[in-house]
C-alpha cells in the first residue's frame, strides 16, 4: 500500500494527508520526550510537593523557554489537539536527570503511561507521534538499584559511544512499542544544537583534547557529542522505517537551528553569540524575540515558532497552516541548564 507524509487536505477539522493510493487523517499530535516538548510537567509544583502524585499529561506551566514551544505552535497552526507526555530532564530510557520524585519519568516510562491510558485499546492510527529524547543521556546515567547519578565524561570516546548505543537501543524500543500499540506515523527528532558550535563529527576529533585533563577542555565538546549522537539517529530512523509496519521519519531540528544561526543578523535575529551574557534568560528586560539561545541548552520561543514551520513544511503539512502567532512573553519559565533536548526524510515509498 502506498503511503507517506504528503500534502494535506482539510476535512472535518482534521488534517488529510493524501497519496494517490490512500489518504491518512492526522487527528491529533502526541508528544513524548524532554524539555524540548514539555509544556509544564517538570515545572509543576506537584512534582516537588512530596506526595508522589505527579502532574498528568498536558499540564501547562513553566517551559524551558520564554514562551510557547513547538508542540503548542504545531497544535495551534494545524488545528488539532495535542496529548503531551513530555518531561523536562527525561532521558531516552526510564529515568530523568532532575531526579527526586520525577526520577522515573523518562521516555520509556512516558510510553508506559500512554499504554496505561489506552486501557487496552489501540492507539489512534491517525495521530502523529513525536519522540524527542536522547540529549539528556549525554549528561550522565543512573546506576541501579540505588539510582546513583554519574556525569558523562564527553572526552571519553568509549563512554560517549556507549551512551549513543544506549540511546539507539532505547529509541528503537520506544518506536517499536508505539508500532505495536497501533501507531502508524512516528517522528523522531534529533538533538538540538548547543550554543558553542562544533563542526567535528565526534568529540574525540576535536583538537587539543586531553582525556586525562579535569573538566571541560574544549568548549565545543558538548555540541560535538550531539553531532555524534545525531549521526547515530540518522542511521537508525531509516532502519526502523524499513523494519516496522508504521512510517518512521527524522526531524532534523539540529540542521534547522544551524540554518537559523547561519542567517542570523539578516533573518530577524541578532547576529549569533554563544556568550552566556547574551542568553535570553540572562537578559530580564529583553523580549527575546530576536535572540536565539534561551539558555545553555534551549532555544527561545521565537526559534520554536520557526521550527514549527519547518516541521510543517518538512512533512508537507503546510496546507493546514494558519498565520504564525507572535511569540508571547513567558508567564513563568523553567531553567534546566544541562538538558535538552542528515536531512529530514520525506516518505515516498510502498509498504506491504
Would residue 348 count as lying in a domain? no
CA dihedral 339, 258, 299, 37 (to 10 degrees): -60
What's the CA gap between 126 and 176, in Å, rounded? 17
Would residue 351 count as lying in a domain? no
Q: Report the pLDDT value the prediction gives residue 99, as an integer from 0 to 100.
A: 87
Q: What pLDDT, in 10s, does the model give residues 20-49?
A: 333 345 789 999 999 999 999 999 988 877
| pTM of the predicted model as reported, rounded to 2 decimal places | 0.84
Confidence of residue 294 (pLDDT cuts 50, 70, 90): very high
The CATH number of whichever domain residue 280 belongs to comes to: 3.40.50.1110
Domain that holds residue 131: 29-340
Would residue 346 count as lying in a domain? no
User: 233 with 208: CB under 8 angstroms?
Assistant: no
DSSP 266-335: TSSSPPP---GGGSGGG-TT---TT-SBSSSS-B-HHHHHHHHHHHHHHTT-GGGPPPPPPPPPPSSB--
C-alpha distances in Å from residue 284, one per residue of 66, 102, 238, 333, 335: 10, 29, 43, 12, 14
Would residue 257 count as lying in a domain? yes
Would residue 4 count as lying in a domain? no
User: 95 with 104: CB under 8 angstroms?
Assistant: yes
Q: Is 210 a residue whose pLDDT tops 80?
A: no
Q: What pLDDT, in 10s, does the model give residues 137-176?
A: 999 999 888 889 999 999 899 999 999 999 999 999 999 9
Q: What is the tally of structural domains in the chain? A: 1
What's the CA gap between 24 and 247, in Å, rounded? 12
Task: Look at residue 37 and give its three-state secondary structure.
Answer: coil
Residue with more model confidence, 214 or 137 = 137
Residue 148, phi then psi, degrees to nearest 5: -75, 130
- Return the CA Rg of the chain: 19
Would residue 323 count as lying in a domain? yes
What's the CA gap between 134 and 91, in Å, rounded? 6
Would residue 155 count as lying in a domain? yes
Would residue 11 count as lying in a domain? no
User: 297 with 337: CB under 8 angstroms?
Assistant: yes
Amino acid at each position: 500500500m502506498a503511503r507517506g507524509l504528503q500534502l494535506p487536505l482539510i476535512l472535518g477539522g482534521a488534517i488529510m494527508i493524501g497519496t494517490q493510493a490512500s489518504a491518512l487523517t492526522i487527528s491529533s499530535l502526541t508528544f513524548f520526550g524532554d524539555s524540548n516538548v514539555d509544556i509544564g510537567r517538570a515545572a509543576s509544583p506537584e512534582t516537588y510537593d512530596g506526595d508522589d502524585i505527579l502532574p498528568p499529561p498536558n499540564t501547562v506551566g513553566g517551559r524551558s523557554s520564554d514562551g510557547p514551544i513547538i508542540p503548542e505552535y504545531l497544535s495551534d497552526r494545524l488545528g488539532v489537539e495535542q496529548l503531551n507526555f513530555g518531561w523536562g530532564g527525561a532521558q531516552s530510557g526510564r529515568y530523568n536527570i532532575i531526579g527526586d520524585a520525577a526520577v522515573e519519568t523518562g521516555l520509556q516510562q512516558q510510553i508506559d503511561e500512554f499504554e496505561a491510558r489506552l486501557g487496552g485499546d489501540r492507539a489512534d492510527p491517525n495521530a502523529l507521534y513525536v519522540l524527542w529524547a536522547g540529549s539528556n543521556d549525554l549528561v550522565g546515567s543512573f546506576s541501579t538499584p540505588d539510582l546513583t547519578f554519574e556525569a558523562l565524561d564527553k572526552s571519553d570516546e568509549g563512554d560517549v559511544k556507549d551512551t549513543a548505543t544506549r540511546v539507539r537501543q532505547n529509541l528503537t524500543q520506544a518506536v517499536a512499542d508505539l508500532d505495536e500499540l497501533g501507531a502508524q506515523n512516528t517522528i523522531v527528532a534529533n538533538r538540538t544544537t548547543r550554543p558553542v558550535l562544533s563542526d567535528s563529527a565526534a568529540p574525540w576529533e576535536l583538537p587539543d583534547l586531553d582525556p586525562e585533563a579535569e573538566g571541560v577542555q574544549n568548549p565545543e565538546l558538548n555540541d560535538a557529542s550531539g553531532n555524534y549522537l545525531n549521526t547515530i539517529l540518522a542511521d537508525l530512523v531509516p532502519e526502523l522505517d524499513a523494519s516496522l509496519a508504521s512510517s518512521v521519519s527524522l526531524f532534523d531540528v539540529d540542521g534547522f537551528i544551524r540554518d537559523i544561526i547561519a542567517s542570523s543578523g539578516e533573518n530577524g535575529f541578532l547576529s549569533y553569540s554563544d556568550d552566556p551574557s547574551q542568553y535570553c534568560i540572562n537578559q530580564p528586560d529583553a523580549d527575546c524575540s530576536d535572540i536565539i539561545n534561551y539558555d545553555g541548552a534551549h532555544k527561545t520561543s521565537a526559534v520554536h515558532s520557526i521550527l514549527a514551520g519547518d516541521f510543517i513544511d518538512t512533512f508537507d503539512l503546510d496546507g493546514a497552516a494558519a498565520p504564525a502567532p507572535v511569540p508571547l512573553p513567558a508567564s513563568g519559565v523553567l531553567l534546566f541548564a544541562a538538558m535538552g533536548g542528515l536531512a529530514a526524510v520525506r516518505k515516498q515509498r510502498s509498504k506491504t
